[in-house]
Amino acid sequence: MKLKSFPKWENIVTKQTNFKAYANKGKLSNFKNTKEINNYRKQQLLNYSVCADLIKHIFNTTKINAIDIGSGGSALLYTLYNRGILNSGIGIEQSKTYHKFAELWKKNLNYNTVTNICGDALQIDYPDNMDLFLIIDSTFPLLAHENKKYPSLLLSKSYKSLTKGGIIIIEINNFHPVVINGGIKLFCKEFPNTDNFKYGIYKQTYIKNSNMVHSESTYIKKDFTVSTKEEYVYYYRLIDLKELLESYNFEVLTYFSNFSGSTFHENSSEKLVIIAKKVF
């Protein structure tokens, strides 16, 4: 099957809406002291531990070369390093503050096999020897709002960077329950003690004419100061992602509702994790 062709990367213009939402993420001035930074790091490593366990299970004892798109503070790559299965890692992050956070973390703990790059994932040339391509934390549908062609272009780049049999893992929020239950969902959650925030309050609204979900988040710190975040996320169903991956010569191997391998139920699961491999 022939790969789809799109305009060159440099001709793609993004809206920047969701990129702006993460502009100050990981900003060092958000932390009161070194203890808060270290607590945040520990929580991030814990958050990605189950994902790292799944990756270790997929590749067994093989050391891998991995790319993480929207890598944030590169916590997943550092977790893979700590597990002893990372040969080399590349973290691509648009946020300058998050990139700076990742670089400081790398320097402090000598994660020298990880390369952190601050920039647009479409503007970067990737090596062609990668074993794993990661697009998790709902990065994939966030990029679709920035430009409708962005996810397809990213799949094209991922295909070229992976070795034959290489694995791509995509994790997204499953908004189907929101769509079929009135188009609006309100909920809140309490964060772990190691997090800088105590509570999160969320509102998700489905916008039918654009097939987007408008996500509004309010975060309350332990000192009760408040910050907000606004995102527009493209609404993908399982069948949409399967067809898109298959059109780029990826074979869908399996899918779950989380990295623990729980069964995915489209009408109720909060997340969708889909795993595919390059077949040609």
Beta strands 250-256 and 162-173 are unpaired
Number of domains in the chain: 2
123 in the same domain as 152: yes
- Which residues of the chain, if any, have pLDDT below 70? 1-25
Q: What pLDDT does residue 196 have?
A: 77
| Helix (H), strand (E) counts: the chain | 9, 11
Q: Which is it for the CA torsion 57, 60, 61, 66, positive or negative? A: negative
Q: Are residues 92 and 208 in the same domain?
A: no
- Whether residues 141 and 213 share a domain: the answer is no
Does residue 1 sit within a domain?
Answer: no
Q: Which of 212, 280, 216 is nearest to 246 (CA)?
A: 280
Please check whether residues 202 and 67 belong to one and the same domain.
Answer: no
Which residues form the domain of 206? Answer: 178-227
CA 58, 242, 140, 9 dihedral sign is positive
Answer whether residue 270 is part of any domain. Answer: yes
Residue 193's pLDDT is what? 82
Same domain, 59 and 192: no
Q: Which pair of tokens denotes residue 278? A: 């390059």
Question: Do the domain assignments include residue 5?
Answer: no
- Helix residue spans in the chain (DSSP H): 17-21, 34-47, 49-59, 75-83, 96-109, 139-146, 150-161, 176-180, 238-247
Residues written for the chain:
280
Contact yes or no for 144/14 (Cβ under 8 A): no
Whether 161 maps to a domain, the answer reads yes
* pLDDT for 27: 79
Question: Within this chain, do residues 140 and 93 fall inside the same structural domain, yes or no?
Answer: yes
The residues, any chain, with a CB within 8 Å of residue 46's CB and separated by 6 or more, are 194
Instruction: Answer yes or no: do 43 and 121 share one domain.
Output: yes
| Same domain as 168, residue 36 | yes
Same domain, 261 and 219: no
| Lookup: tokens for 71 | 């890598």
Q: Which strands form 197-207's sheet, in the order they lie side by side?
A: 184-190, 197-207, 212-221, 226-234
- Do 106 and 202 fall into the same domain? no
Q: How far apart are CA 38 and CA 104, in angstroms?
A: 12
Residue 199 in tokens: 């509570």
Contact (CB, 8 A) for 217 and 199: no
Instruction: Judge if 110 and 21 occupy the same domain.
Output: yes
Indicate whether 56 belongs to any domain.
Answer: yes
- pTM for the model stands at 0.90
Question: Would you say residue 50 lies in a domain?
Answer: yes
Q: Is the dihedral of CA 135, 141, 142, 143 positive or negative?
A: positive
- Same domain for 207 and 243, yes or no, is no
At 28 the pLDDT is: 84
CATH number at residue 112: 3.40.50.150
How far apart CA 45 and CA 75 sit, in angstroms, is 6
Rg of the chain over all Cα atoms, to the nearest angstrom? 18
Residues 162 and 271: beta-carbon distance below 8 Å:
no
Instruction: Report whether 73 contacts 44 (CB < 8 A).
Output: yes
Q: What is the pLDDT of residue 194?
A: 76
pLDDT given for residue 23 in this prediction: 60
Cα separation, 110 vs 273, in Å, equals: 30
Does any domain span residue 52?
Answer: yes
Residue with tokens 């790292």: 52
Asked if residue 74 is part of any domain, the answer here is yes
